[in-house]
Amino acid sequence: MTAMPIPPAPAPLTAPPSGPPAIEMTDLRVDYGNCVAVDDVSLTVPPGEIFGLVGPNGAGKTSTFRVLATLMKPTYGEVRLAGIDILENPREARRIMGYMPDLAPVPSDLKVWEFLDLFAEAHGLGSAAERRQRIDEGLAEVGLTDKRTVLCKTLSRGQTQRLVLAKTLLHRPKVMILDEPASGMDPLSRRNLRLALRKLAAEGTTVFVSSHILGELAEMCSSLCVMNRGRLLASGPVDEVRRLMGRAERTLTVVVLDRAAEAAAWIARQPGTDAITTHGLRLTFRFSASQEEQAALITGLVQEGLRLSSFEEQKSTFEDILVEVAENNQTA
Ligand SMILES: Nc1ncnc2c1ncn2[C@@H]1O[C@H](COP(=O)(O)OP(=O)(O)OP(=O)(O)O)[C@@H](O)[C@H]1O
Ligand SMILES: [Mg+2]
């Protein structure tokens, strides 16, 4: 095994589908004293995927990523990146992996290109001219070409995020681990990030990216997993996970002008309705179905001749949704 230098442009990925998964975690556990941050998580990410990790604050996203990035040893469990056992071969794993931490320290008194050059040198990316070319490519990829010669400390938060992303891309990693990369980015930067990640995935790079915002990940990922309190609650194609989470989302309240008992009986007969309570003319119930089915439910009420004076949808909190997703998953 040769350690350095890393070739600046590895051959395009031609691994057959039968090759090793890009990321393979088995029974991963991370404890901090009494706190179980990652609780026996097993997950496989195929090559070339943009795979999302969504979960609220404290879910265990950063702890998982720090283990993958070889910055922290798990309590137990096994992790392989492109077939490399990262606990046995952390140096080899680091060569093929790029990690963008959630709060990346950026030296304030270096110019943007100097900061990138430090890392380009550390990765052994060839001569000064070759490094310069790679740095310029990286800056173009994140839309920071015009900031090449400014001091890092003059960058805004979102621009700093983009600079750190450019740093993560320098050695063209096969597996990218991005911890909340879009936080602090404006909508245009987020769109550019999405496009940049898609391009990388099309070239065979695998991206594992976290956020606590489902919508943000759903826009950029092909598949997602959901984590809460250290546990993996759901994992699969974006639409499937979204459907699971969407189904758990709604409590509906209907107020009728009269015939409340009749309305309650009709609602109870409709598929997807549950836990109906009646307070006078106000009926509250859970509804586990799509938006289209919700529209059909409202139309149906009206067609029954029931007179609605108001209709309201309450969104559950993220925590409620996660609990329900976990329960649905267990019974699925
Ligand atoms: N260094 C530490 N020492 C003790 N406990 C920690 C440490 N780092 C994280 N934790 C705890 O581990 C749990 C998971 O934290 P982690 O940072 O992995 O979550 P996260 O999903 O990244 O959250 P966030 O969305 O806030 O970034 C939390 O309960 C947190 O308090
Ligand atoms: Mg975090």
Length of the chain: 332
User: What's residue 81's pLDDT?
Assistant: 97
- Mean pLDDT, range 108-128, rounded to an integer: 90
Token pair in block for residue 304: 């029954």
CA of 36 to the centre of ligand 2 (A): 15
- Average pLDDT of the chain, as a whole number: 86
CATH superfamily of 250-315: Protein-tyrosine phosphatase receptor IA-2 ectodomain (3.30.70.2470)
Cα separation, 46 vs 206, in Å, equals 8
Helix (H) / strand (E) containing 113: helix 112-122
- Domain ranges, ordered by start, for the chain: 23-239, 250-315
**pTM for this predicted structure:** 0.76
Closest CA to ligand 1's atom 12: 37
Q: Given this model, what pLDDT does residue 164 score?
A: 92
State the greatest distance between any 2 C-alpha atoms of the chain, in Å, as a whole number.
81
Side chain identity at residue 299, one-letter code: T
How far apart, in whole angstroms, are the C-alpha atoms of residue 2 and residue 95? 11
Helix (H), strand (E) at residue 117? helix 112-122
Element (H, E) at 112: helix 112-122
Cβ-Cβ contacts under 8 Å for 123 (sequence gap 6 or more): 5, 6, 170, 171
Quote the radius of gyration of the chain (alpha carbons, Å).
Answer: 24
Q: Indicate if ligand 1 lies below 6 Å from the C-beta of 268.
A: no
- Residue written as tokens 């006078």? 280
CA 56 to ligand 1: nearest atom: 25
313: confidence class by pLDDT, cuts 50, 70, 90: confident
Say if ligand 1 is within 6 A of residue 200 CB: no
Residue 176: strand pairing partners:
98, 207
Residue 41: nearest ligand to its CA? 1
Domain 23-239 has CATH 3.40.50.300: yes
Q: Is the pLDDT of residue 8 over 60?
A: no
Find where tokens 């070339």 sit. Answer: 48
Q: Report whether 247 contacts 316 (CB < 8 A).
A: no
Residue 211 Cβ < 6 Å to ligand 1: no
Residue 318 has what pLDDT?
A: 60
For the residues of 232-296, what is the DSSP string, one character each?
A: EEEEEEHHHHHHHHHHTSEEEEEEESS-HHHHHHHHHHSTTEEEEEEETTEEEEEE-S-HHHHHH
pLDDT tens readout for residues 194-210: 888 888 899 899 999 99
Q: What is the pLDDT of residue 145?
A: 95
- pLDDT value, residue 321: 65
* Stretch 38-54: mean pLDDT: 95
Answer for the pair 22, 81: CB distance below 8 angstroms, yes or no.
yes
pLDDT tens digit sequence for 9-35: 333 444 445 579 999 999 999 999 999
Nearest to 196 by CA among 155, 156, 222, 162: 162
Dihedral sign computed on CA atoms, order 131, 185, 191, 53: positive
Over residues 236-273, the pLDDT tens digits come to 998 788 777 665 557 899 999 999 999 999 999 998 88
Confidence of residue 120 (pLDDT cuts 50, 70, 90): very high
Each residue's pLDDT tens digit, 57-75: 889 999 999 999 999 999 9
Q: Report which secondary-structure segment, H or E, holds 327.
A: helix 318-331
DSSP-based three-state secondary structure for 48? coil
Q: In angstroms, rounded to a whole number, what is the distance separating the alpha carbons of residues 280 and 275?
A: 16
Is cis: bond before 5, omega within 30 of 0? yes
34 in ligand 1 pocket by Cβ < 6 Å? no
Is the predicted pLDDT of residue 228 greater than 70, yes or no? yes
Non-local (6+) Cβ contacts of 39 within 8 A are 29, 60, 229, 230, 231
Pocket of ligand 1, candidates 30, 61, 65, 75: which has the most ligand atoms within 8 Å of its Cβ, to mutate?
61
Residue 149: name the closest of 165, 163, 128, 129 by CA: 163
